[in-house]
Each structure stands twice: as C-alpha cells, then as structure tokens.
Amino acid sequence: MRPNVLNPLFAPVTSLAGVGPKQDKLFRYLLDRSETPRIVDLLLHLPSNVIDRRAQPDIRDAVPGTVVTLKVTIDRHRAPPPGRSRAPYTVFASDDTGTVMLTYFRPQGGYLDKLLPIGEVRYVSGTVQMFDGTLQMVHPDRVVDEEGFAKLSGIDPVYPLTEGLAIGSVRRAVAQALTKLPQLPEWISPEVVRRCSFPDFSAALHRIHQPEEITDILPDGPFWSRLAFDELLANQLALALVRAQLRRAAGTRHAGDGHLRAKIIDALPFALTPSQQDAARAIAEDLGKPLRMLRLLQGDVGSGKTVVALLAAAAVVEEGRQSALMAPTEILARQHIATIAPLAERAGLRVAILTGRDKGKERRDILERLANGEIDLLVGTHALIQDEVIFKSLALAIVDEQHRFGVRERLLLTGKGEAVDMLVLSATPIPRTLVMTYFGDMDISELREKPAGRQPIDTRVVPNSRLGEIIDALGRALDAGKRIYWICPLVEESDAETALPLVDATQRFESLQKKFGGVVGLVHGQMKPKDKDAAMARFASGETQLLVATTVVEVGVDVPEATIMVIENAERFGLSQLHQLRGRIGRGHEASTCILLYHEPAGEIATARLRVIRETTDGFRIAEEDLRLRGEGDVLGTRQSGLPGFRIARPEIHGGLVAQARDEALRIMQDDAKLDGERGEALRCLLYLFERDEAIPLIGAG
C-alpha cells in the first residue's frame, strides 16, 4: 500500500487549476506518460535553464542581445496598415534616457490597448536588439504594472517543452504543484546528509523550481544533487531487494555434466574465443553454486553473446530443466532463434519461439508443449511474461536487455520457476559506473574479442557537399553486386527545423529509387511488423541491394553479404548508436566500408564523436568516450540525455553518488531488510516517489 502521506502527490495534474483535457494530452507527451501524469511527475520535471531578469538598466544602457527588465512609460501605439496582417504592431515606450519599440506580430484585437495603456508606467522584460538604430524588444516575456513587478521573480526557470505547451502554462502548473508538497519524512541517514551537505527533499524541489540564484538549478549543485541521490538510492534499494530475493539459497542446482555443451561446441563453424570460454566457464560455475546466479554478459556487436547464452541454456537442459531467452523486439528474438536453432538441432535441444504475433492453434500448441516439458529453450519477446505462459520447470532466465527491460520484467520472468538463475545480456559495452547504476551488484563477464573471420571496417568521414560523388560510387558498387545500407537519422521531436524521420528516410528512398530503380528497398519503425520483415527478407535474399533505413536496423539484423554502410547526418547520432549501426557490416568474408556523411559545419562534440568512431572499433573504449563527451543517454543508445528510467540522476555528473547510494542501500538491507519502523516507512515513500515500488512486495519475501 502506498503511504497516505503521498496521496496529494499522486493526484492527477488535471486536478490543478487551468490544466484541462487539452493540457492533459500535452503533459502526457511532455512527461512521457501513457496516462494522465501525476503531480509528482510534474515536480520531477526539472528546469533545463533559467532567465535572469534582475538586470534593470536605463534604456540607453541596455546591451543588445541580453535579457533586461525596463521601467518605461507607454507613449503611443502604431497598428499595421489595413490589409497587411503580417506587418508588426509596434508600441513606443520611453524613460528619461531613450526610447524602446515593443514589437508584436498578429496580436488579438484590443489586447495590447489593455496590456500597454498609453500614459501608464509598465515594467517590460525580454531580450533587446537594435533595429534601424532604435532599441527593440519583440514579444516581451513579461509586462506588469508596479504591483505585478513587486511579485515578479528575478529568475525564471526554463523547462523542456513540447509543441503546443507554453512555458507560462508549465510554470503556473509547477507553482501550484509545489503548494501540494506534503512534509515528508527524511529517508537519507543523518551522516550522509551531513557529509554531502544535502538540503531536505522539499527545500531542494522549491529551490530548483523557484531559484533564488542562477546556480540553484545546476545539476552539480546541492539541490539537484540531493534529488539525484534520492533517485539513485531508490534504484539501488530496489536492486538490493531484488538481489536479496534472487540470491536466496537455491535447492536444486542446474549445471549438468557438459555432454550437450560439447555437442554444441563441436557444431560451431569456428572456435570459441578465449573470453567466450571464460564466460561459459564462469556461468557453469555459478549454476553449480548453492546461490542463484545473477550475471551480466556484455560484449560488443558480433562478439558471440548468443552462443554463450545457448551454452548456459544447454547446461540446465543437461539437468532436465528449461530455459527462456527474452528479447526486447521481435526482430531481435527472431535473430536469436536463427543463430540458435541449427546448433540446438545438432545437439538435440528442442527450441521454439513465442512472440505477440503467434496466435490461435500455433500459439496453443507451443504453450502446451512448454507446460509438458517438451520445449527445452523458449525464445521470445515480452510475450514470455504473460500469465498463460507456464513452464514445466524453468531454471534459467536469459534477458537480452538492450536497456528496454526493467526490474519488473526480470522479476516476472524469474517468477515462472523455482530458484531461477538469471543471465542478462547487453550488446552495448557499458562503463563500470553505469553497470552499477543500472544493474546493481551483478557479477560481470565481458566478451572482448571479435569472432574469427570478422573483417576490419574502413570508416571514412565525408562532408555532405560530396553527396553526389558518394551516390556515383554506390552505383558502381551496385553494378558489382554489393549490398548496401543507407541509414537516415531518427530526428528528435525538438528539432523543429527538420522534418519527421519517416519523411527523411522516405525522401532519400524516393531519390535513390529514381536513380537506381527496383534494387532500392525501405524499412522504418512506422511500418507494420510483417512489412518490415518482408523488406528485410528481400534485402537478405539479395532481391534488393540497397536498403534505406532508420535506426530500426541498429540491432538484430544479420546480412553477412552487406559490406557498405552510409550514415547520413552522422553528426546527429550518439557514439554508441554509430558503433551499433556500423556493426551491421563487416560480418562476412569481404572487407567493408562505413561512410559517415555529415553536414558542415559540425559542432565541437559532433566532430570529436566522428573522430573517435573513425579511429576505433573497440566498443568498450567507445562507451567510455561516449560518457565523457555526451553523457549517459547515448552510452545506452537512447535519444534522450539520461539513463532510461532515470529522470534526474546523470552518471557523468553524479557518478560519485552512485557508490554512496549503493553503500547506503546495502547498509539499509543489513540493518532493516524488512523496512520496518519510522525510517522504513520513509524509505517506502522514496520507492513510491521514484517508481521503484515494484520491489516492495519482495520485502522480506522468502
């Protein structure tokens, strides 16, 4: 049960004055919620910047290009001539030192007469520029009288927005939300509060949303850091509760005698790399120990994680038990089964796949065989965690994270058996600080080498001005029978000057099809799954030779014949995403080329990213560089800056707090694993506030 003290924060934002159905829709989009956001969601939407309105010069001393607040007398209005609605409406105002033009475009009739009455004194705030020798302020942000000015904050927070939602609406909603904030108990121990000089939770929120100094909203300042620590502590505590549950002593152990694993290794067309051997050995040892396994297997694109996962599954099948492999997308699940099925068949393992697409008799048949123990390894999407999926004796859950599964999905899958061991796969090498943040205290195996036969990739950085040359070269490559990816960016919504990504890929597809004809295919995320699969199949079979795609091909697409990749607007992608995309080529026996097309001039960070990707194919080095250059968002292959599931904590800034949060969580588990008493109640509040409450049912379980 959620503690009653939190109820005001879990009221919908539509309970605030001025937030109606239209605003509800916009706030859902802004705050990334499928349902009406709650007041707590709004309070945890922190400002990205501030506007300092404290500069109050005379008109003659105002510096063009700066935000100022001017005290002026309104002299006269000049409306646009009749029939010229696009011409500006200008209000002339002055003080003892000069004149300023207040310029508006398409104001509502009569609005400016009321806002700026002639002869009255008004305070106007906004950015000033010079226009025809006179100071000008276009659409002032604030216009108030003497009384309004007394209430005006000198520093205004600036929030990330979405189209259609005005900054004023967000500020008014947040101001109301702050009045609903109850007095919450302190969940951080006194020594940590003292050591880190943290303010309390309420004070931190107030000072970030209503800053008194410009520095109040800095992520490395005391107010933001306090909230980041809260979020990290909630996460670490949830992971510690999960781990306590998963680490319980396990009765039957799951590692067999190795006879099936030997058959799989014999069936491989290549020898296992040293790190694959080490990882398989470590997993087998874990499976034999009296505690449940919780291991992260991370390795680069094409480093052979699926084979190691299959060896882990075979180890439990040797004991007559079952395994499940859950992937985040259907395309990835089918990729795994394509790798696994031929090897499994040679070893006598019975494998099947279950996705949301499987319906009717086929689905019923799979579920029946699974419940009867006639399937040894079931591969699938989150369809695996549905209630009707029942295993006869699940012993190993393999989760291919790709950072799209959370604690909840892991728990639901391991809940389908007794003392189930867990292996988490990650295709993005993750810097150590982030492993701790995202996965908690897991054992880690790393696959460092590329399998034998992988060809080096020649990466070139080319300005967009040479697009014509590139297209001509592709024509020659197509004539020679080569297969080519052309990647278009997934442009963020906030890039107002660019078209939607779909149009981007479609336009490029149309222009290339006009030049090269039917050998050009198209695949993007907004296509129906069956159309997407058909487009991929045509490319894999060679029916199409040039595939124009968005980042849907980033994972789970394996066409060894593809040897050329062009990434358009490469400066828009994060390092890890570029690395993932590039990993789609160089999979066969021919040398491969990756061309990074960028728009000139590229910014400083973009240039540094392109330089790193040109110099190295080592995913671990790339991940570390990514964290240094851009922040954790790209390391995990997400477009937002920030870890998935984290709204406030930024490991490149708050990395030092991760270990402290982890230590605090471990101390809590030692002192009060059932979260009883006063502090326990406070910690339950924390878990609910930061949406880690799925761990609460585990408290003291088993």
% of the chain surpassing 90 pLDDT:
53
pLDDT (0 to 100) of residue 86: 82
Mean pLDDT comparison of 176-190, 540-554, 638-652, highest-scoring range: 176-190
Which of residues 626 and 614 earns the better pLDDT score? 614
- How far is CA 652 from each of CA 206, 228, 236, rounded to the nearest angstrom? 24, 12, 17
- 3-state class (DSSP) for residue 447: strand
Cβ atoms of residues 48 and 24 within 8 Å: no
Read off the pLDDT of each residue in 26-40 and give the average, rounded to a whole number.
90
Q: How confident is residue 698, by pLDDT bands cut at 50, 70 and 90?
A: low
Average pLDDT of the residues in 338-351 = 94
Residue 627 pLDDT exceeds 80: no
Q: Whats the size of the chain, residue-wise?
A: 702
**Mean pLDDT across 334-356:** 92
Q: Are 252 and 677 in contact (CB under 8 A)?
A: no
Lowest mean pLDDT among 12-21, 247-256, 367-376, 542-551: 247-256
- The reply to whether 54-152 and 457-616 are identical in fold is no
**Distance between CA atoms of residues 659 and 23, nearest Å:** 39
- Per-residue pLDDT tens for 454-494? 778 999 999 999 999 999 999 999 999 999 999 987 533 33
Dihedrals phi, psi of 579, to nearest 5 degrees:
-65, -45
State the fold for domain 54-152: OB fold (Dihydrolipoamide Acetyltransferase, E2P) (2.40.50)
- Residues ≥6 apart with Cβ < 8 Å to 577: 551, 554, 634, 637
pLDDT above 70 coverage of the chain, percent: 89
Rounded distance between C-alpha atoms, residue 254 and residue 127, angstroms: 68
Lowest mean pLDDT among 165-179, 273-287, 687-701: 687-701
Which of the 8 DSSP states describes residue 404? -
| pLDDT level of residue 642 (50, 70, 90 thresholds) | very low
| Residues facing 596 on adjacent strands | 461, 567
- The residues spanned by each domain of the chain are 4-50+160-217, 54-152, 259-447, 457-616
- Say if residue 636's pLDDT is above 50: no
Report for 49-53, 296-300, 518-522: range of highest mean pLDDT: 518-522
Q: Does residue 320 have a pLDDT over 70? A: yes
Q: Which of 340, 277, 324, 308 lies closest to 558 in space, CA to CA? A: 340
Measured CA to CA, the distance from residue 230 to residue 631 in angstroms comes to 20
Confidence category of residue 638, pLDDT binned at 50, 70, 90: very low
For 83: left if phi > 0, alpha if psi spans -120 to 50, otherwise beta; the answer is left
Rounded to 10°, the helix 330-347/529-541 angle is 60
Q: What is the pLDDT of residue 641?
A: 37
With cut-offs at 50, 70 and 90, classify the pLDDT of residue 495.
very low
Q: Is the pLDDT of residue 151 over 60?
A: yes
Confidence of residue 414 (pLDDT cuts 50, 70, 90): confident
- pLDDT higher than 70, residue 402: no
* Span of 43-47, 554-558, 675-679 with lowest mean pLDDT: 554-558
- pLDDT of residue 543 exceeding 70: yes
Indicate the average pLDDT of the chain. 86
pLDDT per position as a tens digit, 509-542:
999 999 999 999 999 877 887 888 889 889 989 9
Q: Report pLDDT for 621.
A: 81
Q: Which fold has domain 259-447?
A: Rossmann fold (3.40.50)
User: In which band, very low, low, confident or very high, does the pLDDT at 225 lie, cut at 50, 70 and 90?
Assistant: very high
534 touches 543 (CB < 8 A): no
Strand spans (E) along 472-554: 483-487, 520-523, 546-549
pLDDT of 673 reads 87
Mean pLDDT throughout 541-569?
85
254 burial type by CB count under 10 A (0-12 exposed, 13-18 middle, 19+ buried): buried
Q: Which fold has domain 457-616?
A: Rossmann fold (3.40.50)
* pLDDT of 630 above 60: no
Q: What's the confidence (pLDDT) of residue 492? A: 37
What's the half-sphere exposure (Cβ side, CA atoms, 13 Å) at 657?
Answer: 30
Confidence at residue 635, expressed as pLDDT on a 0 to 100 scale: 37
Concatenate the DSSP letters of all residues of 614-634 into one string: HH---HHHHHHHHHHHT-HHH
Tell me how far the alpha carbon of residue 390 is from its chain's centroid.
32
Among 601, 610, 649, smallest CA distance to 629 is for: 610
Residue that wins the pLDDT comparison between 206 and 334: 206
What is the predicted pLDDT for the residue at 453? 66
DSSP-assigned states of every residue in 123-153: EEEEEEEEETTEEEEES-SEEE-HHHHHH--
Distance, CA of 402 to CA of 335 (rounded, Å): 14
| pLDDT of amino acid 639 | 33
Q: Which residue has the higher pLDDT, 635 or 118?
A: 118
Question: How many CB atoms sit inside 10 A of residue 597's CB?
Answer: 21
What tokens were used for 398? 């393999």
Question: Quick one: pLDDT at residue 106?
Answer: 84
The more confident residue out of 235 and 373 is 373
295 compared with 205, residue with greater pLDDT: 205
Q: How many C-beta neighbours within 10 Å does residue 31 have?
A: 18
* pLDDT confidence bin for 108, thresholds 50/70/90: confident
CA dihedral 96, 99, 102, 103 (to 10 degrees): 180
Q: Which residue has the higher pLDDT, 497 or 32?
A: 32
How would you write 547-591 as a 3-class SS string? EEECHHHCCCCCCCCEEEEEECCHHHCCHHHHHHHHCCCCCCCCC
Q: Which residue has the higher pLDDT, 257 or 188?
A: 188
